[in-house]
Amino acid sequence: MSLLEQIESVKQAAVTELQSAEELPALERTKGAFLGAGGRFTALMKEMGSISKEERPAAGKAMNAAKLEIESALVQRRETLELKAALPAEPADFTLPGRRRRVGRLHPLSQVTDDIVRAFRRLGFAVADGPEIEDEYHCFDALNTPADHPARDAQDTFFVDAAGRPLLRTHTSSVQIRVMEKMPPPIRIIVPGRVYRRDNADATHNPTFHQIEGLYVDRNVTVGDLKGTVEAVFRDLLGSDVRLRFRPHYFSYTEPSLEIDFTNALVKKLGKDWLEIAGCGMVHPKVFETVGYDPEVWSGWAFGFGIERIAMLRYGITDIRLFYENDVRFLRQF
């Protein structure tokens, strides 16, 4: 075999072996076997001294090119193996349970809200959201609540002193409008959220509290669907002895409108027969017209409950202000 052929064959062997090294020590051993003092490639370089002058330039050139190729294969493989060595043997499983003891807990209002949301999700409702700083249009006008309606009174509403008369939403019903403006029917949503009213703080009122709004729009929706849905959710939340009563009422954005009263053993224990718990009704055709739904085609119902009311019933709490004081002696009990 000529020297040139030997260079080619040793180079091939070196590159193949380097590329197949599985670990860094093996790679370094291979490097030594070819490029080390007694290495196979080094041995070829030593032969340069014993070849004729005429052969030397071509052999030198081939030798240099082969060495470059071997070194580049070495560097490449080294990078790959170093990266492999830096990675954990098995990828981390972030779904494994943590070892740390759980610190703290959810606020009782968050727990009740989560339970209500879960109960509605089981029935196919999605959660929607909207701004707490609203405009009069979404809070009142679009809900068929005219400018002279007492609900807008400065006694009831916090207006923000800024252009466009923004206000703190007095109910989550504003989100009904925002959702219907954005998408066509059918709609099945609930909206948990914070609302604001100039109620004086006493044992059962606070200037800010939480509501859950519900809206269901489709073809041929009936009051029967409303009653069935609300009853199923309250039984789920507060026990199977729950009874509901629907009384006629007035809301400008529903027709007919109803109020829902609730009773169970807890209510009896509080010395009452019924507790008012929610407002609801069939969505008023004017509301549908305002958002561009055809009231001849679509029908729907809506409701709004107070979350604090439900939490107070569930836990037998008689003073709403306890929820906002953040006294750990109170919070630790949930």
Binding site for ligand DAH (CB under 6 A): 171, 173, 213, 251, 254, 279-281, 302-304
Give the torsion sign (CA, 286, 251, 195, 212): negative
Provide CB contacts within 8 A for 154, sequence distance 6+. 198
Q: Which is nearer to ligand DAH, 30 or 174 (CB)?
A: 174
Burial 50-64 (b: 16+ CB within 10 A, else e): eeeeeeeeebeebbe
In angstroms, what is the minimal distance from the CB of 304 to ligand DAH?
3
Residue 214 to residues 129, 192, 296, Cα–Cα distance (Å): 12, 9, 21
Q: Which is nearer to ligand DAH, 71 or 255 (CB)?
A: 255
Cis peptide leading into residue 256 (ω within 30°):
yes
Q: Which is nearer to ligand DAH, 30 or 254 (CB)?
A: 254
Q: Cα–Cα distance between 263 and 274 in angstroms, integer?
A: 5
In angstroms, what is the minimal distance from the CB of 281 to ligand DAH?
5
Question: What does DSSP say about strands 254-263 and 167-168: parallel, antiparallel, or unpaired?
Answer: unpaired
Question: What does DSSP say about strands 275-283 and 299-306: parallel, antiparallel, or unpaired?
Answer: antiparallel
In angstroms, what is the minimal distance from the CB of 287 to ligand DAH?
9
Q: Which is nearer to ligand DAH, 193 or 279 (CB)?
A: 279
In angstroms, what is the minimal distance from the CB of 179 to ligand DAH?
12
If you count DSSP H runs as helices and E runs as strands, how many of each does the chain have, helices first?
A: 13, 9
Q: Which is nearer to ligand DAH, 104 or 248 (CB)?
A: 248
In angstroms, what is the minimal distance from the CB of 330 to ligand DAH?
26
